Structure 1
Amino acid sequence: MLLLLLGMPFASDASAATPENRASGAGTRIVVDQVGNEVELPAEVNRVVIASAWPLASVFCLFEGNVDKLVGLDPAIISAAENSLLVKVAPKIVHVPSGFSKNGVLNVEELLKLKPDVVLYASAVPGDYEACKRAGIPAVGFRLDVKGFNAVETINSWMELLGRVMNTAIEAEDFVAYGRDMQHKVAERLKDVPQSGRPRCMFIHGYEASAVRVPGASSWADYWIGASGGVNVASEAGKGTKSVNMEQIYAWNPEKIFITNFLPLLPDDLYGNRITGHDWTPVEAVKRAAVRKLPLGMYRWYVTCSDSALMLLWMAKENHPELFADIDMNRTVKDFYRKFYGLALSDGEVASIFEAKREAAAGI
């Protein structure tokens, strides 16, 4: 398993430093989460529910080596796991109860039946915290923007907090070093690329009846595009994910489009112009057949996850294939999974990471 294979203690940088666990009442301790809340937890945590902090499930399973302490998972986590390689590490994950959450809303009565010691949630979903607070359930928040949406550094900070929640030291220095080395490698190759040589990119994160949901500034997409040598055309729309019409997309005219794996849309849907009310034929990325569905390995690569270093390299190769022509992504993935997950992937399993899957979308 990832965190059991690494041989040296985890060391976060100073900007990620957080207060250590400290004793509270008899048999309890205080953990300060990434929202700044002081959360009282039992000395030993044995029953964990992961709500809106979806990517944490893959890290948790790799950390624990099994799902024995997971008593509840949001349905979106299950749908990702069923279509990912996480089931090779933790086959029982697909049987963890998920009925406590529907369309991202917690059912407190169902949640209480699970008798959790703690609920792990994303800070962007404060409703999870409020529901748990009313029910008297400890809830620990993980921030998506804790590192300015730098996914590689974010996963390091999440692992550190998860270790404190579970009251166990995480050994991950090699993993941290790999991610930072990858950031340096990519940045070094892109340092001389002028602004005019950076492709205009856009992510699609959702659809509405008459609009497309696109991530602008201060988003995972903005980090991935910028770090991989592109320009996020949607950044001018403001921070976060925005709804825009096709006229705006025509004006931006992105040269490359990336579809997140949280919705069932596939590149062929754009190429075949199959979306009612949306004509994609004039868009440059469609003309160039430069629409890509994001990969899914241990988890959906759009957000921070244990595969984030691979996502950065994949994005850089997509945006600047000539600068990364020597990189064999299949070999890189195989080496990464063997080193950190102890998995020897077949060619077919590697291919499955990069194959578009409708079924892996959240909520399907």
Structure 2
Amino acid sequence: MKKKNKFFIKGFTIVLALTLFGLVGCSTKQKATDAGNTNVSTSEGKKIITDTTGKKVELKQEIERIAVVPIPWASIAYAVDGSGERIVGMHPSAKTSYQKSILKSMAPELNEASTNFVGNDFAIHMEESGKLNLDAIIVWDYQEKEIEQLKSVGIPAVSLKYGSLEDLQNGMDVIGQLLGKEDRAKKLVDYHKESIKYFDWKKDEIQGTEKPRVLYLRDDQLKVAGAGAVNTNFIEMAGGENVAKQVSGQWVNVTMEQIMEWNPEIIIMSNFSNFKPEDIMNNKIEGQDWRNIDAVKNNKVLKAPMGIYRWDAPCAETPLMIKWIAKQLQPDVFNDFDLEKDIKSFYNEFLNHDITKEEVDSVLQKELNGK
């Protein structure tokens, strides 16, 4: 009898163990299946995400410290995370933008973010990166050599493509996966997609209008947005024509004579340079003569807005940038939204910030633009 009981107990134990193993297996598979919907798979203490190049990156489950090489992405990571606490490194140009922007007051913690780990030319300094005790680093998609070097010193690299609005959306999704903020990222991406649908819906109204000639000027060395710049898309979505659209490339140097021939009706000045509308309006730039340009005659030289980052480049606030351009180019067509209300709503909903009227005016560069 004792022998039978012994066999029974042993058999029951084996069955129980197999059952529990099966349940654990199902649970693990279920996690992978659920996570797979967002390109994330998990295992004990680790997670694997797929970046915008299709590369799988193994990371700690809980990411606490990141550095960001591409200039715009530190502000986007802030928007997705809702905080700058985890950003311990950012590009020097991103830090310059931060110091001049509303983000400085919204995220004082970013003032401590290091810039020593990366050069202005995006070269990554491995020794300095090691000092930051990083859980991950965000890099440009073309930095294959640096990615291998980072791997050799134990720093996982997440690659992001950049340039188009689709790249921007995909990158926001990946950052959501990296930081465990998939829901916040999805909400921001959905907002971007809905905004694009709005401008698509406006295309028919734009067709019957005269499209203002626009020059998008990056700096006082006459570098302009050409055919390959996303700014050309912004202008066209807003109902204008980029006078430099026939110039191949993204940002291209041109001559004053060429600008005179184009004779733009509106000039938008970027925040990648410190020049101001008055420098053009008052003909202060040596070797350049703007007096006979229509934009100058009609007082239509404008500094682009600057929110948590420069609105010139694809960023978290890009839908607001296109709306701002639309209000400058086609106010009668785009009369169904209030830009300042939309800015307040965006900052409240996506950045957890109750933006003041004074801050809105600062974002829109009203003092520089004389409005």
1:292 Cα deviation from its structure 2 partner = 1.2
**1:268 Cα shift?**
0.9
Give the distance between the partners of 1:143 and 1:176, measured in 2 at CA. 16
Q: How much identity, in percent, do the aligned residues show?
A: 30
- Structure 2 residue aligned with 1:5: none
Q: Could you tell me which residue of structure 1 aligns to residue 197 of structure 2? A: 184
Distance 1:135 1:274 in 2: 50
Alignment of 1:139-150 (within 5 A): 139-145=157-163, 149-150=164-165
Deviation of residue 343 (structure 1)? 2.1
* Residue aligned with 1:226, SS: helix
The equivalent of 1:222 in structure 2 is 232
Correspondences of 1:23-172 after superposition (within 5 Å)? 27-52=45-70, 54-104=71-121, 105-123=123-141, 129=147, 132=150, 137-145=155-163, 149-150=164-165, 153-172=166-185
Question: How many Å apart are 1:171 and its aligned residue?
Answer: 3.6
Asked if structure 1 preserves the Cα contact closer than 8 Å seen for 2:223 and 2:253, the reply is yes
Counterpart of 1:201 in 2: which secondary structure?
Answer: strand
Q: Is contact 2:215–2:267 with CA below 8 Å preserved after alignment?
A: yes
* Structure-2 separation of matches of 1:234 and 1:100: 36
Alpha-carbon distance, 1:160 to partner: 0.8
Residue aligned with 1:57, SS: helix
Give the greater-gyration-radius structure (CA).
Answer: 2
Question: Is residue 2:278 matched to residue 1:268?
Answer: yes
TM-score (norm 1): 0.81
- Match of residue 21, structure 1, among 37, 40, 55: 40
Q: TM-score with structure 2 length normalisation?
A: 0.79
Q: Report the counterpart of residue 11 of structure 1 in structure 2.
A: none
Residues 80, 185 of structure 2: 8 Å contact kept: no
Q: CA deviation at 1:338?
A: 2.0
Is the contact between residue 124 and residue 144 of structure 1 (CA under 8 Å) also seen in structure 2? no
Q: Deviations over 1:147-186 (max 9, x none)?
A: xx23xx5443222101222345334555444333333333
1:321 equivalent in alignment to 2:331: yes
CA RMSD of aligned residues (A): 2.8
Aligned residue type for 1:108: M
Structure-2 residue corresponding to 1:193: 206
Could you tell me how far 1:198 is from its partner in structure 2?
0.8
- The C-alpha deviation readout for 1:64-92, integer Å capped at 9, x for no partner, is 33333222111222222222222343221
Contact 2:65 2:87 in 1 (8 A): yes
Q: Distance in 2 between matches of 1:127 and 1:257?
A: 39
Preserved CA contact (<8 Å) 1:159 1:170: no
Deviation at 1:316, TM superposition (A): 0.8
Could you tell me how far 1:264 is from its partner in structure 2?
A: 0.9
Name the count of aligned residue pairs: 332
Which moved further from structure 2: 107-116 or 128-137?
Answer: 128-137
The CA distance in 1 between the partners of 2:249 and 2:108, in whole Å, is 38
- TM superposition shift of 1:126: 6.4
User: Counterparts of 1:81 and 1:44 in 2: how far apart (Å)?
Assistant: 26
The one-letter code of the counterpart of 1:179 is H
Deviation at 1:336, TM superposition (A): 2.3
Report the AA paired with residue 330 of structure 2.
H
Could you give the per-residue CA deviations for residues 187-245 of structure 1, whole angstroms, max 9, x where no partner exists? 4334233477111112112344xxx2112112121111111111112121113221111
The answer to whether the 8 A contact 2:305-2:311 is kept is yes
Report whether the alignment pairs 1:238 with 2:252: no
1:346-361 residue pairs with structure 2 within 5 A? 346-355=356-365
Aligned to 1:8: none
Q: Relative CO higher for 1 or 2, CA cutoff 8 Å, sep ≥ 6?
A: 1
Structure 2: state its 5+ residue gaps.
Answer: 1-35
More helix by share: 2
What is the distance in 1 between the residues matched to 2:61 and 2:115? Answer: 26
Distance in 1 between the 2:329 and 2:146 partners? 37
From the superposition, tell whether residues 157 and 195 of structure 1 become closer, same or farther in structure 2 (CA, over 3 Å): same
Equivalent position amino acid for 1:315 in 2: I
